[in-house]
Amino acid sequence: MNFAIQFLRESYFELKKASWLTPPQAWGSTLAVLLLVLLISLYVSGIDFILSVILGSVLGR
């Protein structure tokens, strides 16, 4: 039990040392991640569509 209390105490002090993002920085990072996910998903979807068309024409479907 003593180990758990010591762990929580040390974790609390380490979290106080961390530098946290401001709300505008957090929103900016969130928007950047969402935009990147959207672009990558569009790219992968496009490649998938092109390859399925090519494979469909090769297999005669």
**Domain-wise residue ranges, the chain:** 21-61
* Distance, CA of 46 to CA of 54 (rounded, Å): 12
pLDDT at 9: 94
Mean pLDDT of the chain: 94
Per-residue confidence band for 37, with pLDDT thresholds at 50, 70 and 90: very high
* Distance, CA of 24 to CA of 31 (rounded, Å): 11
Closest CA to 45 of 53, 61, 32: 53
Per-residue confidence band for 39, with pLDDT thresholds at 50, 70 and 90: very high
> Averaged over 37-57, what is the pLDDT?
97
**In this structure, are residues 47 and 55 in contact, taking their beta carbons and an 8 Å threshold?**
no
The whole-model pTM stands at 0.66
